[in-house]
Chains A and B, each alone.
Chain A
Amino acid sequence: MSKVLVVDDDVDICALIRFKLEQMGHEVVVEHDGDGGLAAAREEHPDLVVLDWMMPRRTGLEVCVELRQDAELERVPVILLTAKAQEADVQRGFAAGADDYIVKPFSPRELGSRVGALLQRSRR
């Protein structure tokens, strides 16, 4: 069973993703802001992180950059899940170290597939 950290200030989105990923058999940890997300990543050592971009206290992009600079977390796959849909935003997301980029509104089952694929590749 893999542990997925979901960081989003939208309570409904977090509940939605938790519901979907727990159905798939994953353990889900939820945080609602960037600082909490970073602290949870360091404490929980998740197998994958789903990050919102626009959040209070620290943005998802900043969290992603921090994760990539952390020796213990730099290899953890990160999916950015955000309403920012411009080409330049996507480029910034990948430049910050994200492994995947999903635009809201989103398909939970598609997210589930991407989580599964990234987890599988990261185990190799």
Chain B
Amino acid sequence: MGLAFTISLVVLGTTLVLLLVSVVAAKVVGGRRERAHERLVDEVRPLVLAGLEGDAEPMLGLSGTRAEVAESVATTLLPKLRGADRAELASALERAGAIERARRALHHGRASRRQRAAELLGAAGAASATVDLLAALDDHDAGVRTSAARALGRIGRPGSVPALVAALDDRRVPANTVAMALLRVGPRAAPALVPALQLGAVRTRTIAAELLGSFGHLPAAPTLHALVYDEEPRVRISAVRALGRLGEPSTAPRIAGVLQWLLAQPELPDADLAAACATALGQIGDRRAAPLLRQALGRSHRVSFAAAAALAELGPTVAPEPLVDPADGVETAPVAAILAGRAVGAAS
């Protein structure tokens, strides 16, 4: 037993020593690689910066690791620039063949290489790579798909919007990445976003509603108006918020009706929706909403705050008629049904 114990101790001790040595060796080797990489970056960076003056020559002669490092430096630099300098550098990259290499690299065997390629194409705003990047939304690697979506947002072609929305809807790309990409495309994305209001996934409808409100896309108002009665709470809230930003007066009565129903309940069923309604009424600016907003004061902190801010936006109010008169028949049935969690047939 004594011998077996001693042998075990020796084996354990040797293993520990070997482990320690390998950890130290890895650190030393890793540190050397990092310093070598930094030296390479310092060496290559001036060649890339020459591109700011439209000089692609220094980058033309690069190949292999040096070309990869140059492309990595450019990918980091480009988003920090704007104006003519950015355009010059992007053009220099094109002339140096980096854009074409990146397009080919979208089909490389290694996912990391495909991802870096997508990042460079996005940073350079390479519109010529749009088709390749759209295909990359179907890549089997999640990182590549995310980088492709980001790149499409940076390039900003409205034609990319349906594919981005589809990637959002079937969860191929994280929601915040697609939302950011669509935001970068800007108001030109709006027409292609309206159909997304009626797609399957809750997050798709929610994001589409928020963006359409941000873009001020008035043609979306009728569809958003219908979504105030959507069966999903988050969709209802996003639709109300969007309508508030659009400021379309004809949508105020429905929003007021929802708020009035919520306030009439003994326990406020959905404070977020009530607050969104109050805010939207302030943004739309119909002074007839004032009495209803005053009723909302004192009903939970969030609702009171939103109502108070809305009243401040409406300014001094002399409102002879309330926006929603219970005697005229508020659409309480759909509101009650949806807030009870049951689907409602399409309301217009």
Please tell me if the beta carbons of B84 and A109 are within 8 angstroms of each other in the complex: yes
Please tell me if the beta carbons of B83 and A16 are within 8 angstroms of each other in the complex: no
Since A12-B45, A12-B76, A12-B77 are in contact, a sample of 11 more A-B pairs with Cβ atoms closer than 8 Å, ordered by chain A residue number, is A15-B45, A16-B77, A16-B80, A19-B52, A105-B79, A105-B82, A106-B80, A106-B82, A107-B82, A109-B84, A110-B83
| A window 79-98: CB within 8 A of B | none
Please tell me if A20 contacts chain B, counting CB pairs below 8 Å: yes
| B window 63-102: CB within 8 A of A | 73, 76-77, 79-86
Shortest C-beta distance, A54 to chain B (Å), equals: 14
Please tell me if the beta carbons of A12 and B80 are within 8 angstroms of each other in the complex: yes
Q: Tell me how many residues of B have a C-beta within 8 Å of chain A.
A: 16
| A window 1-55: CB within 8 A of B | 10, 12-13, 15-16, 19-20, 23
A110 / chain B contacts, CB cutoff of 8 Å? 83
Please tell me if the beta carbons of B83 and A109 are within 8 angstroms of each other in the complex: yes
Q: CA of A113 to CA of B52 in the docked complex: distance in angstroms? A: 16
Please tell me if B49 contacts chain A, counting CB pairs below 8 Å: yes
Please tell me if the beta carbons of A108 and B73 are within 8 angstroms of each other in the complex: no
Q: CA of A105 to CA of B86 in the docked complex: distance in angstroms? A: 10
Interface residues of B (CB under 8 A from A): 45-46, 49, 52-53, 73, 76-77, 79-86
SS of A interface (majority): helix
Q: CA of A44 to CA of B52 in the docked complex: distance in angstroms? A: 28
B77 / chain A contacts, CB cutoff of 8 Å? 12, 16
Please tell me if the beta carbons of B80 and A104 are within 8 angstroms of each other in the complex: yes
B79 / chain A contacts, CB cutoff of 8 Å? 105
Q: CA of A58 to CA of B274 in the docked complex: distance in angstroms? A: 44
Shortest C-beta distance, B221 to chain A (Å), equals: 30
Q: CA of A104 to CA of B49 in the docked complex: distance in angstroms? A: 18
| A window 54-96: CB within 8 A of B | none
Q: Give 22 A-B contacts (CB < 8 Å), ordered by A residue.
A: A12-B45, A15-B49, A16-B52, A16-B77, A19-B49, A23-B53, A104-B80, A105-B80, A105-B81, A105-B82, A105-B86, A106-B82, A107-B81, A107-B82, A107-B83, A107-B84, A107-B85, A107-B86, A108-B85, A109-B83, A109-B85, A110-B83
A23 / chain B contacts, CB cutoff of 8 Å? 53
Shortest C-beta distance, B89 to chain A (Å), equals: 10
- Choose from B45, B46, B52, B76 the contact partner of A108 (Cβ within 8 Å): B52
Please tell me if the beta carbons of B85 and A13 are within 8 angstroms of each other in the complex: no
A15 / chain B contacts, CB cutoff of 8 Å? 45, 49
